[in-house]
Structure 1
Amino acid sequence: MMMWRMTRGAVRVRVPATSANLGPGFDVMSVALKTPYLEVEVESKGEGEEIELTVSGKYAADVERSVGLNSACRALKILNSSLGIRMGWRVRIEAGIPVRKGLGSSAAEAVGALLAAHLALGLRIDRRKIVRLASLVEPGGHADNVAAATLGGFTIAYRLHNGIDVMRIVAPRNLAFVVVIPDVRKESTGASRRVIPESVGMEDHITVASRLAAICLSLERGDLRTLFSLVPFDPVVERSRAEAGLYGRYNWKELLGEKTRLLRRYGVAMTISGAGPSRLLWYDLRRNAQEEGRRPIDGALADVVSTLESKGHRVLEVIWTEPENSGAVAVTR
């Protein structure tokens, strides 16, 4: 049995939102965002199995309140089991990440609870272990969001014979994002996974593998022009979800046309964030140094909003952000 000792009372952790898939990187790639973020506070209740959950913050009304379903609470139960202990917990979530919008809110809850509990118990922090434990909470055991939430930067989750591991790429300078959140209703990540084909043809496999490899190299080199030419286009997952109507009243041909137009007209790449419906606009700060309102990114944002409105959708929120190279961190109240 792993040795542990209680070292402190309540521990609070800040966890960034994440955007996963990043075009052709389904279940593999993700990036941590500087904003938005949420905070999870965990405090031991001593021996027992009861978990108390309190939720506050901007998006509190949308957070799962059932202890049996909430990601933070489920992660703590998994931790107890992995340590072979019976520990009760008080959990407080400050919900600062939009829920069911493809920004990794459930992953952030799980990662925050696990890191805070490790600190509360005085355990050695092994962030790759936290990624593996947190992935058990996610539908299908996917580790892309939890990897970026834990480690920061761009992450690549991959499978070995002994489980999941992860690589990290420091975000290139001058890269920034705009998150556009429409009023498209998302049932669940699990439901959105069911429309994805279980197998793909050789041509699509080669396209995805070659683009993903080139995306990773472009990130390492800081080559934003090549990165932007590659990342918007996914012939498998985004295509199948678009055809199923998960991104709004679009089909794949219309979504592909929008992506192509944004890249050619404004030099801006667009990906669907995770399972959607949020759009992630990628832009180069060096090419957008003009006065606000006259920059290419401003034109691209107006184009995306106009297109959504033309389909009968409303934009709920726009978030200007950038990559976060630090993952989850402890904070003081």
Structure 2
Amino acid sequence: MKVKIRVPSTTANLGPGFDVFGAALSLYNEFEAEYVPNARKTSFILEGEGKKLLPKGEENFVWQSMLETFKVLGEDKYKLENLNIRIKTGIPLNGGLGSSASAIVGGIALANVLCGKELDKSKSQVADIAIKIEGHPDNVVPAVFGGLCACSKDGDGDHRTVLHLPIPKLKAVLCIPSFELRTKRSRQILPKSIGLKDVVFNISRVAMLTVAFCRGDYSLLKQGMQDKVHQLYRGKMIPAMNEVFETAISAGAYGAFLSGSGPAIAAFCNEKEALNVQKAMVKRWKEESISVKSHILDFDTKGVLEI
């Protein structure tokens, strides 16, 4: 039995929505698993962005997520040595585009299909397992469901509510600089507490951001994507972050923000402005002697998908 899964990249926070907002984008990782009952050694093949960097075997996020899913489903039939696994990574690693979330969701989906699709068809159980593994929902939720999502946690429990917002009729311009900023370090730099003034600032921007998407009034994104909870601190590790924001908006973007924990920067704009925005963002970073990879992406509407 051979299973093949596709999982989209994601951009999280969207400015003020720290650990809440996330969107799925049209850049993908593909994961394949084949069960070979009599095999004595796994075949673990890596392709694409992670070919030389990702671990093979037990330390790989895909296998760890598969193993966790087998435990949830009470399945002990599948062992690593009995599986041929292929991972094709199109999502940049450590760039702020949800590469680890994609691996987690991909592993869960592979295990689920191998076990006869025992998890519910609504994907909510896939999301629950992914959130448990990842620790926060902003990347894994849109990777599971696609589209534009907001996720809330009920008190101190594990129950979460996922809200699906209208998918913007926009392009997402992504610029990923050549340096890495690991998520762990990017979280460590954040303060333990936030001042009341900054909390109120972010609440007002989250309200504005939500209205912008629900009404399709994208003129609100310039203000609605402002943030004082995480970008202020992460920007200390990202040269010219605010200047790139301003450059994108001056070139025609509605709003710009740090994608996830960074260092990628994203901007939302109309299709006709996308190329100008991309060129301007790349040029501004080159002025800092930083090379970047850039993409003009659509919003993914499917989420994790068996192909």
Q: Is TM (by shorter chain) over 0.5? A: yes
* Structure 1 residues 42 and 213, CA gap change in structure 2 (3 angstroms): farther
* Structure 1 residues 104 and 153, CA gap change in structure 2 (3 angstroms): same
* Structure 1 residues 260 and 319, CA gap change in structure 2 (3 angstroms): closer
How is 1:182-193 mapped onto 2 (pairs within 5 angstroms)? 182-186=177-181, 188-193=182-187
Matched, 1:14 2:21: no
2:249 to 260, 263, 271: 263
* Structure 1 residues 181 and 29, CA gap change in structure 2 (3 angstroms): same
8 Å contact from structure 2 (residues 205, 223) kept in 1: no
* Structure 1 residues 215 and 88, CA gap change in structure 2 (3 angstroms): same
8 Å contact from structure 1 (residues 41, 113) kept in 2: no
8 Å contact from structure 2 (residues 173, 295) kept in 1: yes
1-side partners of 2:128 and 2:37: how far apart? 25
**Structure 1 unaligned spans of 5+:** 1-8, 289-295
Q: Find the counterpart in structure 1 of residue 89 from structure 2.
A: 95
Offset at 1:177?
1.2
8 Å contact from structure 1 (residues 55, 95) kept in 2: no
2:297 to 318, 321, 330: 321
Q: Find the counterpart in structure 1 of residue 111 from structure 2.
A: 117
How is 1:24-43 mapped onto 2 (pairs within 5 angstroms)? 24-34=16-26, 36-43=27-34
**Structure 2 unaligned spans of 5+:** none
Offset at 1:54?
2.0
Q: Can you list the C-alpha shifts for 1:94-150, whole angstroms capped at 9, x where unaligned?
A: 112111111111111111121122122111434121112112332xx0111110000
2:61 to 62, 66, 71: 71
1-side partners of 2:54 and 2:243: how far apart? 36
* Structure 1 residues 129 and 165, CA gap change in structure 2 (3 angstroms): farther
Deviates more, 1:207-216 or 1:63-72: 63-72
> What is the identity percentage for the equivalent residue pairs of Structure 1 and Structure 2?
26
2-side partners of 1:298 and 1:268: how far apart? 14
2-side partners of 1:84 and 1:128: how far apart? 18
Query: TM-score, structure 1 length as denominator?
Result: 0.82
**CA RMSD, 1 decimal:** 2.3
Q: Letter of the aligned partner of 2:268 in structure 1?
A: W
How is 1:1-333 mapped onto 2 (pairs within 5 angstroms)? 9-34=1-26, 36-44=27-35, 52=42, 54-86=44-76, 87-89=78-80, 90=83, 91-122=85-116, 123-125=118-120, 126-138=122-134, 141-161=135-155, 162-163=157-158, 164-173=160-169, 175-186=170-181, 188-231=182-225, 233-243=226-236, 245=237, 247=238, 249-250=239-240, 255-264=241-250, 266-285=252-271, 288=272, 296-315=273-292, 317-331=293-307
Deviates more, 1:12-21 or 1:76-85: 76-85
Q: Letter of the aligned partner of 1:149 in structure 2?
A: A
8 Å contact from structure 2 (residues 142, 148) kept in 1: yes
2-side partners of 1:69 and 1:234: how far apart? 35
